[in-house]
Amino acid sequence: VPEPTRNTSTSPATGSSGMVSSANPLATRAGLEILEEGGNAFDAAVAVAAALGVVEPMMSGVGGYGAIVLYDAESGETRFLDTGSRTPTALDPGVFRSSTPNFVDNRCGAKAVSTPGNANAWEALSSNYGELRWQRLFEPATELADEGYVLDGITAGWIDAAWPAFPEHARGIYGNGGVPLKAGETLIQEDLARSMRLIAEGGAAVVYEGELGEAIDATVRENGGFLTLEDLRDNRAEWRDPTSIDYRGYEVVTASPPATSWGTLVRLGVMGELGPTSLGHNSAEYLHSYTEVTKRVYSQRIEYSRDPDISPTPLDRLLSEDFWAEEAAQVDPLRASYQPPTAFTSLSNTREHTTHFVVADREGNVVSATQTLGNVFGSRTMPPGTGIWLNDSIAYSTWEPEGNPLDAFPGRYRLVGIS
């Protein structure tokens, strides 16, 4: 499949029958195909998510996790669909701490794999809101994997960078003659196409208790990881009320805990107190203020994030105008006055790579989804015969001080999110 020309125009895109925005034109085309066939935004979102795992394999996929916020035009409801990713129940957090030999390597491989929740979330989205057959939603992704597509420079560059950590069977997919595929060459993923067919035919259950789940369990165990088939069976996509604030007459909505996306709303509220318009768009004063506020929000994420099974995040305070005013008063307009704690520094040193897409249909339904493998190609762990990269979610924990809310706890929610 040749790659469509990327649109570099700065003109706004418009449409009356629906729109799809994703990080890859082939995935966008998959969603548009579903909309044109009569599917709604929820159908198209599943198709886009599945296709992104094929054409943007380093960023997301069946082995990943994420968060989906949707608006249902018929009911007028906005909902948050959490993929329910948890750490393995047998996890030993000690192997990731700096006092343990090889702790850096442990954060990069199979030991860092948490429960992949994407497939269950896709199925929940489809069964609750979709109109087309589940099997139809995977046809674009399966075709792209089976027939292949021409690599662009971005994807080829990531393959080249991650190549030394690829297992041998993955090199057989992403390479030719023992070297990584280059831009302009065709990537064919027959194993991933087969996995997509299994999911299309058997539903998400094949990932969590069927053939694919068994393959994940075996590979993680073989590589010294903690995730088991029991952890996979226990995964559930969970519907939650979203979190929102009123900003200048608009309701801004995002994912609620255990996602840490509330930090985005805090940042928006505090910047509102500082008068962003008067600061000037992208002026030195604006960027300085934004940086100071952002540093404080990341620190607050460490301080206030909570597992909802244990205790609630104090959103009533964090999303109040009184709190925003207190935070705004702490910003020195002349100097960088706030130094983040060590825990912030360790978190920010982790490379963040993910994908985001938005789908809207003619009825007014909207899906906004963020999905990821963690780092590029996740843990660099791929069960042979599946073409599925497994995430390294646990690598995004904050290890010091031990026991902080963003530490890794066996069997608990992964408190990972973009602030």
Contacts 24+ apart (CB under 8 A), 177-183: 180/156, 181/151, 181/156, 182/151, 182/156, 183/151, 183/152, 183/153, 183/156, 183/157
Other Cβ atoms closer than 10 A to 5: 7
From residue 386, give the alpha-carbon distance in Å to each of 118, 178, 227, 287, 409.
16, 20, 17, 45, 29
* d(C-alpha 141, C-alpha 50), whole Å: 6
CA dihedral 45, 48, 49, 50 (to 10 degrees): 120
273: left (phi over 0), alpha (psi -120 to 50) or beta: alpha
- What's the N-to-C CA distance of the chain in angstroms? 36
At position 34, the amino acid (one-letter code) is: I
Active-site pick, 354, 372, 381, 398 = 354
Q: Are 1 and 149 in contact (CB under 8 A)?
A: yes
Q: How far is CA 408 from the centre of its chain?
A: 18
* d(C-alpha 113, C-alpha 63), whole Å: 9
Q: In angstroms, what is the C-alpha Rg of the chain?
A: 21
Q: Which runs of E-coded beta strand occur in 97-249? A: 149-150, 175-176, 179-180, 186-187, 238-240, 243-247
At position 215, the amino acid (one-letter code) is: A
Query: DSSP letter string over 210-242?
Result: SHHHHHHHHHHHHTT----HHHHHH---EEE--
* d(C-alpha 401, C-alpha 9), whole Å: 47
Residue 291 known to be catalytic: no
The catalytic residue positions are: 354
